[in-house]
Amino acid sequence: MGRPKQFDPDAAVDRAMDVFWRKGYAGTTPQDLVDELGIGKGSLYATFDSKRALFDRALERYREQQADTLARIIDQPGPVKPRLRAALQFIVEANAADPDRRGCLAVNTAAELGGADPKATLDVRHMFERTQGALEAVITEGQRTGEIRSDIPGAALSAYLFTTVVGLQLLVKTVRDPLDLTQVVEAAIRSL
């Protein structure tokens, strides 16, 4: 009943995610959102309530999307190290191909709101824990098969590898050429 929406809210969240990703939370204005989503301010606020609520949805959307992407690379058959290498190298190459060098929305949000905004801090923490968990599964698998060193506990090793992942996501934004970070990926894999 009633008039149906003229736009797809989920698609709008996708576009909003992109804006926040490029400009950060504080750096994004309602006008930016109106321009990029292609809907009126009325619809924007009627549908999403507030800039912050939309940001929260965008962050959640990012979580779903990234979980997929990472899982698809990491959950392959075959030896463990190449799978991990592919995951890290994907970060490097995706950002080398991105003229905006957006990095990772979760990492950017951690930097901007972490420590200051409890809700955002928690959301990002959960995303981080999820990713680190995925790495840990692969690493302990590698430790069982002997592909990965066992003198460091799997939990510590995956926390360490995840720290590298986060560092990479940050560094792609400032480095002259993201592909230079390939040597970091190699070093990280070799040290496992």
Partner DNA sequence: CATTTTCTGTACCTATAGTTCAAGAAAGGT
Partner DNA sequence: ACCTTTCTTGAACTATAGGTACAGAAAATG
Note every long-range contact of 8-14, with CB atoms under 8 Å and residues 24 or more positions apart, other chains counting.
9/47, 9/48, 10/61, 12/37, 12/39, 12/47, 12/48, 13/54, 13/57, 13/58, 13/61, 14/61
Q: Applying CB under 8 A, what is the total number of residues that bind a copy of itself? A: 49
Cα angle 68-49-12, degrees, rounded to a multiple of 5: 40
Contact between 102 and a copy of itself (CB under 8 A)? yes
Q: Which does 137 bind (CB under 5 to 8 A by kind): DNA, a copy of itself, none?
A: none
Contact between 151 and a copy of itself (CB under 8 A)? yes
Q: Which does 110 bind (CB under 5 to 8 A by kind): a copy of itself, DNA, none?
A: a copy of itself
Contact between 4 and DNA (CB under 7 A)? yes
C-alpha torsion angle, residues 33, 37, 40, 44 (rounded to 10): -70
Note every long-range contact of 112-120, with CB atoms under 8 Å and residues 24 or more positions apart, other chains counting.
112/24, 112/25, 112/26, 113/25, 119/56, 120/25, 120/59
CB closer to a copy of itself out of 42 and 118 = 118
Q: In angstroms, how far is CA 97 from the centroid of its own chain?
A: 16
Q: How far is the CB of 89 from a copy of itself (least distance, A)?
A: 14
Contact between 90 and a copy of itself (CB under 8 A)? no
Q: Which does 125 bind (CB under 5 to 8 A by kind): a copy of itself, DNA, none?
A: a copy of itself
| Residue of 110, 134, 135, 138 interacting with a copy of itself (CB under 8 A) | 110
CB closer to a copy of itself out of 74 and 188 = 188
Contacting residues toward DNA, per CB under 7 A? 1-7, 26, 28-32, 39-47, 49-52
